[in-house]
């Protein structure tokens, strides 16, 4: 229990292995691309609506209709984005900044939480990894994992 008298919720995390991540690369690429595209669409439509609303002068009927349409399209794209994000999170993969096309696949290395870095813009989408405690920019080569038990075991 915490200080408020409520039980703390424990969350389990599915940990992947490098071979599992490699096998799922095409699927992950599809989801991360879709996540990025729906996020970009939502941002673009919201920007259009904001610019229409910010125009000087009294809005005419056409401008009001265009702004409403842009807001509806932004809302729709945001909904699709949330659906895709939930699908990604449902398999235990995180995406901190969808515009970058990078996702984080959790695994354990040397009894520590670590993340495979999945980059849709890289020829080899799983080229690097980082420990949870590393700065986000850290990229360790996947070849450093060769020969470790991380490649063979899976903890679910």
| pLDDT score of 66 more than 80 | yes
What are the domain boundaries of the chain? 21-151
Q: Is the pTM of this model over 0.75?
A: yes
DSSP string of 6-31, one letter each residue? PPPPP---PPP-HHHHHHTHHHHHHH
Q: Is 104 helix (H, G, I), strand (E, B) or coil?
A: strand
Q: Which residue has the tokens 């679910």?
A: 156
pLDDT digit string (tens) for 97-114?
899 999 999 999 988 999
8 A C-beta contact, residue 130 and residue 138 = yes
The beta strands (E) that lie in the chain are given as: 102-109, 112-119, 126-131, 140-141
What pLDDT is recorded for position 155? 38
């Amino acid at each position: 229990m915490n200080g408020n008298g409520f039980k703390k919720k424990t969350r389990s995390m599915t940990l992947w292995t490098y071979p599992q991540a490699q096998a799922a690369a095409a699927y992950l690429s599809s989801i991360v691309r879709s996540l990025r595209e729906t996020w970009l669409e939502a941002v673009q439509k919201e920007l259009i609506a904001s610019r229409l609303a910010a125009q000087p002068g009294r809005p005419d009927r056409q401008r009001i209709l265009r702004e409403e349409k842009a807001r509806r399209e932004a809302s729709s794209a945001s909904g699709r984005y949330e659906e895709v994000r939930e699908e990604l999170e449902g398999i235990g993969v995180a995406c901190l900044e969808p515009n970058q096309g990078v996702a984080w696949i959790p695994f354990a290395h040397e009894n520590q939480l670590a993340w495979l870095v999945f980059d849709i813009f890289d020829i080899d989408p799983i080229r690097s990894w980082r420990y949870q405690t590393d700065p986000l920019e850290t990229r360790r080569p996947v070849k450093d994992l060769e020969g470790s038990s991380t490649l063979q075991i899976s903890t679910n």
